Amino acid sequence: MAVDVDVLVIGAGACGLAAAIAAHDAGVSAAILEKMDRPGGNSSLSTGSVPAANSRFQREAGIKDDPETYVRDLMGIAKETDDIALVRRMAEVSAETVEWLVDDVGARLKLVTAYKHIGHSVPRLHAPVSRRGQDLVDDLLAAAERREIPVAVGNAVRDLIVEDGAVVGAVVENQGARSELRARKVILAVNGFAGNPELVRRFCPEIAGAQYFGALGSTGEAVIWGEKLGAGFANMQAYQGYAAVADPHGGLLSWTTIEKGGILVGEDGRRFGDESLGYSGYARVVLEHGQRAYAIFDQKIFDIAAQEEEFLELANYGGVKKAESPEALAAFYGLDADALAAEIAAYNAAASGSGADAQGRKDFGLGPLQAPYFIARVVPGLFHTQGGLRVDGDAHVLRPDGGRVPNLFAGGGAAAGISGRAGALGYASGNGLLSAIALGRLAALAAAREIQEETR
């Protein structure tokens, strides 16, 4: 068969870049098509945090961890999943994936030991020091460039070419002109469908009213093409939300502000739930309460959050305001000052141990809150969807009966995730990038193996 490239990767986020690099290093040719004018996708917008259980970086830091503990942690918050085998596989390959990123790709990742993230019983996230996914993407792009892997931006794949049930290439559109590219294997690295309102309403209706805060390219082609091919899907109702997108700035208000003892109140100055549900799970609560909320925290919490570049930037751009009293805090946004003062007093009483919290919160971080106070206006956002194509442990796309769709692989947001079956509560930090990078790499290794066998 005449082909243009051995492995055609669709999408230049973390999954696609990892896949192309791994394919190249395994001895086959690879090329990436990216529909936007620049690579990176949601991976650029993320904090670049990739979890690994029993990485050598954890061992060097004296942290005991193993895949079984990680699976227990993941299922502890996900509760139920359509695909426990995928959860186990991701946990098992997590350490080799992060070590590959550092050793082979040259990614500048460091184990985060300052705090554990939501869903993890031990420090497990490996992230750029800046906590910017763009740094990780830049490292992946540099590695692709060193290998002379073509990353063709401005090239949207409009459809897959299928012959006798096998995927043999893709139809590509560039500035209105269509062409065909033929490949031995195709890897879908197009992320999920959070940027496709119709698919969000269909699969994740509870968060359909929230704004989408991810990259514009996540418009669900994996779902659309997969349905045409008769592929299977899993965990389609799962998504990652974020309860505190800075408004109107659009960046994240670090959840550290809440986790370390801050609260969220509505326009009426009152709290409306237990914030320890976490940033993803609490997004729906904010949405149901009335779209906007106000994060309140104090100086000691500010100082911790200020270790994060993005938080400092938000503060410098006026997204975080300071006042000496609850009344002055309320005045910034016209909140009910008496109600806010009463709410902070009640929360502080619970945080000091005199009585239960009215919202059921048990972890008060560094609470009670003390003057000076800070306030930031936030809205809930949808970051990405977690469900997608059913895949096996090597990222082959599967049909509902378990058979493979020949030549087709999927990873990252295009594939079923590891954040449970439904809703936002099952998302543990790093689930998105782990399945992007690990499945991208595994897909490429399997594709290369099969190509070498088939062309021998």
Ligand X SMILES: Cc1cc2nc3c(=O)[nH]c(=O)nc-3n(C[C@H](O)[C@H](O)[C@H](O)COP(=O)(O)OP(=O)(O)OC[C@H]3O[C@@H](n4cnc5c(N)ncnc54)[C@H](O)[C@@H]3O)c2cc1C
Binding site for ligand X (CB under 6 A): 10-16, 33-36, 39-43, 45-47, 49, 156-157, 189-191, 213-215, 217-218, 221, 383-384, 412-413, 430-434, 436
CA dihedral of 380, 384, 390, 393, whole degrees rounded to 10: -120
DSSP-derived secondary structure letter, 252: B
DSSP-derived secondary structure letter, 154: T
DSSP character string of 390-429 = -B-TT-EEE-TTS-EEEEEEE-GGGB--SS-SEESTTPPT
CB 349 → ligand X: shortest distance, Å?
A: 35
**Closest CB to ligand X among 54 and 97?**
97
**Angle subtended at Cα 363 by Cα 379 and Cα 381, rounded to the nearest 5 degrees:** 15
Buried b (16+ CB within 10 A) or exposed e, 288-321: ebeeebbbbbbeebbebbeebebbeebbeeebbb
**Closest CB to ligand X among 216 and 356?**
216
Dist. CA 439–CA 420, nearest whole Å: 17
DSSP character string of 279-324 = TTHHHHHHHHHHS-EEEEEEHHHHHHHTTSHHHHHHHHTTSSEEES
DSSP-derived secondary structure letter, 164: T
**Closest CB to ligand X among 41 and 380?**
41
CB 419 → ligand X: shortest distance, Å?
A: 10
**Closest CB to ligand X among 51 and 262?**
51
Q: Which three-class secondary structure state does DSSP give residue 171?
A: strand
Dist. CA 240–CA 67, nearest whole Å: 23
**Closest CB to ligand X among 186 and 340?**
186
CB 447 → ligand X: shortest distance, Å?
A: 16
Is residue 393 within 8 A of residue 3, CB to CB? The reply is no
CB 216 → ligand X: shortest distance, Å?
A: 7
CB 424 → ligand X: shortest distance, Å?
A: 12
Q: What tokens appear for 135 in the block?
A: 């740094």
Is residue 133 within 8 A of residue 43, CB to CB? The reply is yes
**Closest CB to ligand X among 248 and 334?**
248
Dist. CA 396–CA 385, nearest whole Å: 20
CB 97 → ligand X: shortest distance, Å?
A: 12
**Closest CB to ligand X among 175 and 354?**
175
**Closest CB to ligand X among 149 and 434?**
434
CB 82 → ligand X: shortest distance, Å?
A: 18
**Closest CB to ligand X among 77 and 329?**
77
**Closest CB to ligand X among 44 and 276?**
44
CB 263 → ligand X: shortest distance, Å?
A: 22
Dist. CA 456–CA 448, nearest whole Å: 12
Q: How far is CA 332 from CA 244, 337, 377, in A?
A: 18, 10, 10
CB 413 → ligand X: shortest distance, Å?
A: 4
Residue with tokens 């609470």: 367
Q: Which three-class secondary structure state does DSSP give residue 298?
A: strand
CB 433 → ligand X: shortest distance, Å?
A: 3
Q: How far is CA 3 from the centre of its chain?
A: 34
Residue with tokens 């059913």: 390
